[in-house]
Chains A and B, each alone.
Chain A
Amino acid sequence: MSTGATPQSPRPQSQTGKHRLLTFDILRYDPRDAASVPRMRAYRIEEADSMTLFIALNEIREQQDPTLQFDFVCRAGICGSCAMMVNGRPRLACRTLTRDLPAETTLAPLPFFELIGDLSVNTGKWMRGMSERLQTWLHVRESEPDLRRIEARMDPDLAEQIYELDRCVECGCCVAACGTARMREEFTGAVGFGKIARFRLDPRDTRTDEDYYELIGDDTGVFGCMSLLACHDVCPKSLPLQTQIAFLRRKMAGMGASRDVPVPER
């Protein structure tokens, strides 16, 4: 028995007494199976030192239930595949240590995105659509770029700022945490604003605020953001979403002073 345990302690102990017994209540559902009904299923495993949620899920799949579906690729918080709702909040499974979780943990798939099965969702499909809609690539107004020309130098501080926003792994945590996106599915979401902010900073991108207004200048864009800022609080890469969204809002609101684009009569 651990010396730290008291008779009042609710912590369930493993047989060896060294580690806690963890219970994972996992939402199980296969949308492709017509007979499948969403239900919670509990799995119990013994905690290990430095165990991550990703390791725990693998152990469950290997030892208890090979049908459990969840995503992972890099195991290092880089690919953004293993995002899921952990006790109601979106987190990356590979970056979540079980020692930071209570003995009983509820796991569910990220809402908002297309459900593949159990904890697995198709974030890529939505991210691609968002990327195409917001044109999140470098726009250069040159018909024929001169590939032999030496690239213009960039101020290191500016490069650092761009890199900071480029660290987004498109895990979908910000969108799943966003109250606005949950109510209004057409909402752009913080991931999209982060990308627009990134290209707006980039001096190589020749787009103007007028161009960006066409992408995010309405209630499905930056003016729909209600500043609940759960996106900022759950971002596993700690991106400065709060300041970037406020910055974009100020810039896009400034466009309100300009005249409406006249509608061609003929």
Chain B
Amino acid sequence: MSCETVLAQTGLAGRAGKSRWPARLDLLQSGTGLFLALFMWGHMFFVASILLGEPAMWAITKFFEGYFLFGRSYPWLVSCVVACVALVFAVHALLAMRKFPATYRQLRTIRAHAKAMRHADTTLWIWQVYTGFPLFFLASAHLYQMLVWPQNIGPYASSDRVWSDALWPFYLAMLLAVELHGGIGLYRLALKWGWPNAPRRTLARLKWGLTAFFLVLGLATLGAYMKIGYEHRAHHGERYEPDGVKEERKARMEEEAR
């Protein structure tokens, strides 16, 4: 057995020199959080393309499936991106979990502390925990769905999922949790690392402004999918295709038939 293992088992690991891993893990937690928050905002813009109409959302979907690059769709390309995001998500969740209250005593202490202190940033952290916990389940379920059925992303497919498959409450809960958690997380990152070196009040205003913007955008987007899903409920399962593409596909099929 190595000396390192013996020292770790006996609780003397730090005596020979402190491990560098806490530093790396701290950076990794912040880095994965930053990636996920920025990804979340980008993702919101892509999803919100439905507000510009079905053709815009279809084009975004097809872009990620490589349609405009290869001439046909490869939904597994989306699965690859989802797999990477899921990996980052898992690492972030694992690292962030270390900061959660681990016992009932800790939970009771921090709740009483936040209640008595009435300190905005302490309360915000409690909200980060409250919104982070459901994301373990909500984001995991969403990522799995997108990983396994990437072909079911599109103006009609997504709307059917939201309305006919009754997933709108799921997306509503996830929207609230992810926007609050990510917004607070980015604000805390800025404070934690001292960059950008702006006054805390400015950062807080920016944070709330961005959270409000993405919540409004998200709610409008969800509303749009619900509306399309409701109107499309009689044709559940049918996929959207722009007129030009539909005609092109028909012409190709006729040609192949000849």
Contacts and interface: CB of A to CB of B under 8 A. Distances in A.
Interface of A: 85, 88-89, 111, 177, 179, 182-184, 213-214, 217-219, 221, 223, 225-230, 233, 242-243, 246-247, 249-250, 252-256, 258-265
A259 B18 CA distance: 11
A250 B200 contact: no
Interface string B94-132: 000011010000100110011111110110010000000
A179 B114 contact: yes
A182 B113 contact: yes
Interface stretch (B64-72, B78-86, B159-167, B189-197): B189-197
> Nearest 9 A-B pairs (CB), nearest first?
A261-B17, A256-B23, A246-B194, A88-B116, A256-B24, A223-B26, A227-B192, A183-B106, A218-B22
18 contacts: A89-B119, A179-B113, A179-B122, A226-B188, A228-B122, A230-B119, A242-B194, A246-B193, A246-B194, A249-B192, A250-B193, A253-B23, A253-B26, A259-B20, A263-B2, A263-B3, A263-B7, A264-B3
Contacts of A179: 110, 113-114, 122, 125
B77 interface: no
B20 A255 contact: yes
Contact of B109 (A183, A218, A242, A264): A183
B119 A265 contact: no
A242 B4 CA distance: 36
Contacts, number: 115
Given A88-B116, A229-B200, A219 B98 contact: yes
B257 interface: no
Contact of A230 (B18, B20, B117): B117
B141 interface: no
B52 interface: no
Contact of A249 (B14, B99, B193, B200): B193
B16 A264 contact: yes
Contacts of A219: 22, 98
Given A246-B193, A261-B16, 9 more contacts: A177-B117, A214-B17, A219-B98, A227-B121, A229-B121, A242-B191, A255-B20, A256-B22, A263-B17
A44 B109 CA distance: 30
B27 interface: yes
B3 A217 contact: no
A253 B117 contact: no
Contacts of A249: 26, 192-194
A228 B119 contact: yes
Contacts of A233: 119, 121
B19 interface: yes
Contacts of A111: 113
A260 B17 contact: yes
Q: Which of B14, B16, B27, B122 has the most CB of A within 10 A?
A: B122
B46 to A, nearest CB: 31
A174 to B, nearest CB: 12
Given A88-B118, A179-B122, A249-B26, A227 B20 contact: no
Nearest to A243: B194
Contact of B18 (A88, A89, A183, A214): A214
A156 to B, nearest CB: 24
A262 B16 CA distance: 8
Interface in B22-58: 22-27
A27 to B, nearest CB: 12
Contact of B121 (A230, A250, A261): A230
B179 to A, nearest CB: 20
B23 A252 contact: yes
Nearest to B99: A226
Q: Which of B20, B27, B115 has the most CB of A within 10 A?
A: B20
Interface string B6-22: 01000000101111111
B117 A89 contact: yes
A246 B195 CA distance: 9
B3 A255 contact: no
B120 to A, nearest CB: 9
B188 A253 contact: no
A230 B122 contact: yes
A250 B192 CA distance: 9
Given A229-B121, A253-B27, A255-B20, A247 B99 contact: no
